[in-house]
Amino acid sequence: MNLMAVAVADYIGFVLVVAMLVSSKIRRAAPRDEFKILTIIAFLSAIACVLDFLTFYCDGKTFFLARIINHFGNTYSFVANPVFAMSWCIYTDLKLYQSRARIKRVYKFVMIPGLILLLLALANIFVPIVYYLDENNVYHRLSGSYLYFVIEFFYLMWSVVTLKKYEERFDKVNFFPMYLMIGPIVLGSVLQVIFYGISLIWVSMAIGLTCIYMALQNEFSYQDTLTGLFNRAYLDYLLDKYTKNPENHVGGIMVDVDYFKEINDTYGHHVGDEALIDVARILLFGKPDKAIAMRFAGDEFILLLKDCNVEYLKKVVTSIREELKLFNETENRQYQISLSLGYTLFEYGKDDSDSFFKKMDDNMYEEKKLKHAKR
């Protein structure tokens, strides 16, 4: 055992996690379940980095507290391992689906292996199953410890499958570098199994968490803070990406909130903000899975679609109108939301982003003028 190497690895891991927790304080303050789970994972990792060094330091020592610290540190490690793995799966699911009901439905079964590992770690305090400390306070790994590596791998693969199934239905997920999280953990775990006496799992988790945090920061820069939709910067990025390939058949729908100024003037800007959030919800529920909804500017929104034609755009517009009608009939807001929509296809060789937006805008205003003429 190289105590200096362990100290360096745990120090790096601890500093990375603490820096991530401090830097992400504002981001994690948002009332979203996945941020709470991410915070739990980070705190588990930070504490584990400290205890990991202490257990290695006390291993083989015979002073008064050495055996207690050795037992406590190793027990914590074997408890934190399945908690981390289960939490990571739940974080992945919440990040993708944003559904507590799905978590309750699916994970009451998925969590069973992790809960068994927790019981084994606690039982090991009384009956050696996972590890034991000999009379000289030296740690010895037992065969039960390998079960933790197997179950951790199972949970990591479960999160990969969850992501793949989501992408098959909804398209590729941006700002979620799962493999940068899982890669270091798998590598660190394999090396720790092969080379007895080294400690790499917790610093590996710290590196993975740092990668996830960097992705969150990147996502935050492309997100509209009020509605939660993507913003104009992301629209420009995505449009440039889509229109590089003429085979993508890109289409767009511009959505404008009718009489939005009246809502603001009558009920105040707070209610106006609520109305914009409602519009975002209508678009998310009314659009097809692979369409990207973005807030364009003020009370204007854009849906960007790939692999579509005019008939498909018409169907999407109809779906949004149906969702709008359902919203106004069921939500009992103090205002009624009215939307004008204009759609068009991107013509390769003729259009750039400005002309594409202008065609949508012109078509949308044709509908808006008809509404104002009838009022």
For residues 153 and 239, state if they share a domain. no
Instruction: Please indicate, yes or no, whether residues 260 and 214 belong to a single structural domain of this protein.
Output: no
Q: Tell me what pLDDT residue 140 has.
A: 93
Task: Give the residue from 173, 192, 221 where a domain finishes.
Answer: 221
CA distance 248 to 290: 13
For the segment 94-106, the average pLDDT, to the nearest whole number, is 88
pLDDT in tens, 250-301: 999 999 999 888 898 888 989 999 999 999 999 999 998 889 999 998 899 9
Q: In what order do the strands lie in the sheet containing 339-345?
A: 292-297, 300-305, 251-257, 339-345
Q: Which domain holds residue 113?
A: 3-221
Angle at 77 between CA 72 and CA 202, to 5 degrees: 135
- Give residue-wise pLDDT tens across range 8-36: 889 999 999 998 888 877 777 777 788 88
Residue 226, in any domain of the structure: no
Q: pLDDT tens digits for 128-161? A: 999 999 999 999 999 999 999 899 999 999 999 9
Quote the number of domains for the chain: 2
Same domain, 31 and 114: yes
Strand 251-257 relative to strand 131-133: parallel, antiparallel, unpaired? Answer: unpaired
- Could you say which of 161, 191, 221 is where a domain stops? 221
In terms of domains, do 344 and 214 share one? no
**Beta-sheet strands, E only, within the chain:** 131-133, 139-141, 251-257, 292-297, 300-305, 339-345
| Among 201, 221, 241, residue at a domain's last position | 221
* DSSP designation for 59: T
Residue 107 lies in a domain: yes
Confidence at residue 374, expressed as pLDDT on a 0 to 100 scale: 64
Cβ atoms of residues 224 and 235 within 8 Å: no
**Own/partner long-range contacts of 29-38 (Cβ < 8 Å, ≥24 apart):** 32/94, 32/98, 33/94, 33/100, 34/91, 34/94, 34/95, 34/98, 37/87, 37/90, 37/91, 37/94, 38/91, 38/209, 38/212
Q: Are 251 and 283 within one domain?
A: yes
Q: What is the pLDDT of residue 200?
A: 79
pLDDT in tens, 215-225: 878 878 888 88
- Shared domain check, 157 and 276: no
Same domain (yes/no): 155, 301:
no
Taking residue 233's Cβ as centre, other Cβ atoms within 10 Å add up to: 13
Beta strands at 131-133 and 139-141: parallel, antiparallel or unpaired: antiparallel
Q: Could you tell me if 193 and 54 lie in one domain?
A: yes
Q: Please indicate, yes or no, if residue 272 is contained in any of the structural domains.
A: yes
CATH number of the CATH domain containing 270: 3.30.70.270
What is the bridge-based pairing of β-strands 292-297 and 339-345?
unpaired
203 with 286, same domain: the answer is no
pLDDT in tens, 51-87: 999 999 999 998 989 999 999 999 999 999 999 999 9
Q: Are residues 272 and 325 in the same domain?
A: yes
**Total-model pTM:** 0.78
The structure tokens listed for 118 are 């927790």
